[in-house]
Amino acid sequence: MTVIDVKPLTDRIRAYNPAIDDDLLSRAFSFAEKAHRGQVRASGEPYFTHPIEVAHILADMHLDPATIITALLHDVVEDTDVTLEQIQQQFTDEIAGLVDGVTKLTRIEMKSDNKQAENFRKLVLAMSEDIRVLLVKLADRTHNMRTIDHISRDDKRKRIAEETLTIFAPLAERIGMTHFQHELEDRAFAVVNPEMRTSIISRLDYLSTQSEDLVSRICDELNTTLYEAGLESSVSGRRKSAFSIWRKMQRQKVEMEELSDIMAFRVLVPDTSDCYRALGVLHQKFPMVMGRFKDYISTPKRNHYQSLHTGIIGPNKKKIEVQVRTPEMHEVAERGVAAHWGYKIDGKSVKPNEYKQLKWLNDLMRVLENADSSDEFLEHTQMEMYADQVFCFTPKGMLVTLPKGATAVDFAYDLHSGIGNTCIGVKINGKMRQLATVLTNGDQVEVLTSSTATPNPEWENFVVTGRAKSAIRRFIRQEKQKEFAQLGRGLLQKTLRQAGKDLVDSTLLPCLIHYNLKTDDELFARIGEYHIASEEVVAMIYPDLKPIEPKKTKTPTPKPSLNIKGLIPGMAVHHGRCCYPLPGERIIGIITTGKGLTVHRVDCQNLEKFTTMPELWVDIEWESDTPNIVNARLETVISNEPGSLAAVATTISDHGGNITNIQQTARNLDFFTFVTDIEVSNVRHLTAITAALQSNPFIESVERAKS
């Protein structure tokens, strides 16, 4: 029976932190013990032995009490009835937050997929908002790897080991936790490929027994060689790990028998020119192994690693690997994870001397290395590097990386533009949600589509990815083109009829060539947009016809043929652009400096401005309501669906009105607002047209434009 006691842990922590709160630690200890009571590990031991061991691993790293308590509690939310709220009540928000972080990582872990290892590593980093979460997770993984032999199922063991190699060991490496890294790699290697590991180790053992103290004797000889050449150096050496040798064997496709360089040596010299001098000295004295020289000083690695690498047949005829660098380069190499990170996060390069600015990581490592760790610092160390990204899953577990603030619609477009264009709803973590919902890390997103659905223009207001934005805009543009084409087709047809011709008998080819357009629809759209006058087109198709005066005008112009009583002789007359008075309506004239007389409807709101200036008012009225062509401006709100704009145009022309300008002024989810200038005979004519428009099902409202 395993004795479960808090004392060994308390003692271990007290050794580096005399101020430890015994009571809090004991409470966490018995809380977790009680929660896990009755559960057993694959080894048959009480489950609680696992959190205790994880806590010990972190205590060995001299971590703060909150981290160690989190280690004790790290599996209770996921594996027992305990809730996060209970932890919050019993302990602190800080501890609850850390436990929550570890729990989320545990859930993510279950979805991991080796094919997307890099994304998963990023995901884990992004989810580890507090670096202590990641440290607990790495300690958890380390203990699970130490006890992996108890898992009986071979495939399960292999899966865990592979995940350790692809996700956790590289993460440990990145945050500079090399002892975690090496232990994780070695233990995982023993599961993934035990035969290979055993044979590499026995080969290494055999090679070392060939001569004792080989590493230190080679170090001495290299040092002496460099000293005699006038170079001050410090040489260190080590035997490579079985896993790193295996990795190299795979990369370089070498066989066991060729495996001779099992030792790596590092030569530190004061400055860069010394590096090249040292290299020259070594190459002069020892035969060089061809193809092994690499100059990472003149061409640093992407993570800013700098060194000279070479392979030589060194002392005792041993093939060895030598790295030559300055102390500064060494620092980058050792703490280079910082520079490496910086590079990856921003997607742009960090200059070699900027790596020091990634202070948090250097500070973190200093904290972890020093016994007197500052708890406060750890608390505020955020995993900021992926703060601008959010990682989500498809129901099948595929990881989708999006910028922070991305919504369900961005997610849909990221999968495929077809999915984005037809999405109608979304389930996030199994629940129906709004398409505008902003996604958070770890969300599982299921996009619901309908083959008949189309993008909603409103989406453009909340999507954040360029991909979604451009797809939505492209769709709207295409739809608009279709509408303009319908409108333009109608306009052209009408003009042709006036000339006694019909569209079906007419060939548009000369126009297409003239305007450099590809299709009839493109031409119709240009006409619909009023970029090309239909009269011009007709004149081009039927050059022999008597030219038709283009009626198209960008802005309504006053007609000279107005018959108004009471005008001052010789005075220019303008229509009020604000109210567009029509024959038959009650009007008033206002004398406008430099313009002459402006005619307003008596109910025009702009007249208020002139109430204090009675001298400007001129009493006028229409001479008769005999038909005159006048401009009227209508504001129509039409439903946002194909054909609606064409319906407006058709209704107006069917009632003898002539559209001279049309302009979209607003657009929302369901409706478009257009301001339309039309030529009508008089107010009765306009009333007839507005009545017809109002009865059209596409049209939500129609009224005289206010301005």
Side-chain half-sphere exposure of 668, counting CA atoms within 13 A:
3
Shortest reach from residue 170's CB to Mn ion, in Å? 20
User: Stretches 69-77, 470-478, 489-497, 670-678: which one binds Mn ion (CB under 5 A)?
Assistant: 69-77
- The sign one gets for the Cα dihedral 30, 32, 35, 39 is negative
Secondary structure class of 240 (helix, strand, coil):
coil
Q: In the numeric block, which tokens belong to residue 180?
A: 């975690």
Does position 53 interact with Mn ion (CB under 5 A)? The reply is: no
User: Stretches 70-78, 283-291, 381-389, 504-512: which one binds Mn ion (CB under 5 A)?
Assistant: 70-78
User: Stretches 15-23, 133-141, 487-495, 576-584: which one binds Mn ion (CB under 5 A)?
Assistant: 133-141
Site for Mn ion in 501-520 (CB under 5 A): none
CA 419 – CA 410 distance, rounded (Å)? 10
User: Stretches 62-70, 138-146, 281-289, 612-620: which one binds Mn ion (CB under 5 A)?
Assistant: 138-146
User: Stretches 73-81, 214-222, 511-519, 545-553: which one binds Mn ion (CB under 5 A)?
Assistant: 73-81
Shortest reach from residue 47's CB to Mn ion, in Å? 9
Sketch the per residue contact string, 82 through 121, with Mn ion: x for CB under 5 A, - otherwise: ----------------------------------------
Shortest reach from residue 71's CB to Mn ion, in Å? 9
Using CB under 5 A, which of 53, 75, 109, 183 touches Mn ion? 75
CA 55 – CA 40 distance, rounded (Å)? 18
- Cβ distance to Mn ion smaller for residue 140 or 483: 140
Angle at 613 between CA 609 and CA 616, to 5 degrees: 100
CB 265 within 8 A of CB 321: yes
Question: DSSP string spanning 404-461?
Answer: TT-BHHHHHHHH-HHHHHTEEEEEETTEEE-TTPBP-TT-BEEEEE-TT----GGGGG
Secondary structure class of 617 (helix, strand, coil):
strand
- Cβ distance to Mn ion smaller for residue 71 or 322: 71
CA 400 – CA 702 distance, rounded (Å)? 46
CA 112 – CA 385 distance, rounded (Å)? 21
Shortest reach from residue 54's CB to Mn ion, in Å? 6
- Cβ distance to Mn ion smaller for residue 73 or 487: 73
What is the chain's length? Answer: 707
Shortest reach from residue 140's CB to Mn ion, in Å? 4
Q: In the numeric block, which tokens belong to residue 328?
A: 């500064």
Using CB under 5 A, which of 33, 129, 140, 321 touches Mn ion? 140
Shortest reach from residue 72's CB to Mn ion, in Å? 11
Q: How many residues bind Mn ion (CB under 5 A)?
A: 2
- Cβ distance to Mn ion smaller for residue 136 or 597: 136
Decide: residue 688, CB within 10 A, 0-12 exposed, 13-18 middle, 19+ buried: middle
- Cβ distance to Mn ion smaller for residue 105 or 496: 105
Site for Mn ion in 638-677 (CB under 5 A): none
* Inter-CA distances, 425 with 417, 467, 628, Å: 15, 19, 54
**Which residues are known catalytic residues?**
78-79
Shortest reach from residue 169's CB to Mn ion, in Å? 17
- Cβ distance to Mn ion smaller for residue 71 or 409: 71
- Cβ distance to Mn ion smaller for residue 140 or 446: 140
Residues of this chain that bind Mn ion (CB under 5 A): 75, 140
